[in-house]
Amino acid sequence: MEKIRKVVIPVAGLGTRFLPATKAQPKEMLPLVDKPIIQYIVEDAVRAGITDIILVTGSGKRALEDHFDRNETLEKHCLAGGKKQYCKAIKEVAELANFIYIRQKGPYGNGTPVMNSKEIIGDEPFAVVWGDDVWTAKKPHIQQLAEVFYKYGDPVITARKIDDEGTNKYGVIEGVEVEPGVYQIKSIVEKPGPKKAKSRIGSLGGYIFTPDIFEMLEKTPLGKGNELWLVDAISKLLKKRPVYAKIVEGEVHDLGSKLGWLKANVQFGLKDKEINKEFKKFLKKEI
């Protein structure tokens, strides 16, 4: 079984929920304590064995490229000021992986950035994760999906158990449990609501795909909002081969909203060894 080396991370979104903060900077560069959101996602992918990071960008996203590049002027400045730990930290960022940047072209929709990566992916299996979901888990998110892929040899998507409210927020998976926490999918219905949902297993962002997803995307007509939707292509793929869902263990932090971002900063701040004690005192005082 060919090893998964590449991950596609769509980061072309405008980040309108965070305006005006994202007027001149990518939302993926918003800080989560002392690192930008995108760095956590890249680090998690690297821990899972990914070597090639494909960032599908858009206008105004140059800061992402700068962040994962060397900055020798800043490194020298830190060394001259006796801040070796900061020099080491910013140098290591550029050495995490091979970074590839492509511009998103085509219709709106989350299927487009995947389609844009076709020539770079070639005939390899690959991962896709979103640029605003950060996972905290003992075993990296992509690794959990990859282990299922290596066992069955078919595409795998991220799943979580959800409640009635979750059926209005997520796609709902109907399938057969082939082993604890792993389902062979029969269908995915987007946000059906509690009355129509046939299960309480939700579909979240994070996938292992085989290259035939590109053929499905090419054949998928534009859907809701006149956009190209990945879930529509997956539904087509289901008719041709098995697709599995893995209940991923760990906690996902949805940083696509102000509330989610604030919650995550509190959670990560309380775990930060440098500030956690004083931060905890501050929170107790304010609350």
pLDDT digits (tens, 9 = 90+) for 64-99: 999 999 888 888 898 888 888 888 888 889 999 999
Statement: residue 26 has pLDDT above 90: yes
pTM: 0.93
Q: What is the DSSP letter of 228?
A: -
CA–CA distance, 232 with 224 (Å, rounded to integer): 10
Once rounded to an integer, what is the mean pLDDT over residues 50-56? 97
Once rounded to an integer, what is the mean pLDDT over residues 53-65? 93
Q: What are phi and psi of 25, to 5 degrees?
A: -145, 150
What is residue 60's predicted lDDT score, i.e. its pLDDT? 86
What is residue 171's predicted lDDT score, i.e. its pLDDT? 87
pLDDT (tens digit per residue) in 92-107: 899 999 999 999 998 8
Confidence tier at 224 by pLDDT (50, 70, 90)? confident
Once rounded to an integer, what is the mean pLDDT over residues 247-271? 94
Widest distance between CA atoms in the chain: 64
| Three-state DSSP class for residue 179 | strand
Confidence tier at 197 by pLDDT (50, 70, 90)? confident
What is residue 85's predicted lDDT score, i.e. its pLDDT? 86
Statement: residue 1 has pLDDT above 80: no
Confidence tier at 270 by pLDDT (50, 70, 90)? very high
Mention every residue, 6+ apart, whose C-beta is less than 8 A from residue 172. 162, 188, 189, 191, 192, 197, 198, 199, 200, 201, 202, 203
Of residues 229 and 244, which shows the higher confidence score? 244
Once rounded to an integer, what is the mean pLDDT over residues 157-165? 92
Confidence tier at 191 by pLDDT (50, 70, 90)? confident
Return the structure tokens found at 160.
């979580």
Mention every residue, 6+ apart, whose C-beta is less than 8 A from residue 18. 27, 30, 258, 261
CA–CA distance, 141 with 47 (Å, rounded to integer): 9
Q: What are phi and psi of 163, to 5 degrees?
A: -100, -175
Domains along the chain with CATH numbers: 6-256 (3.90.550.10), 260-287 (no CATH)
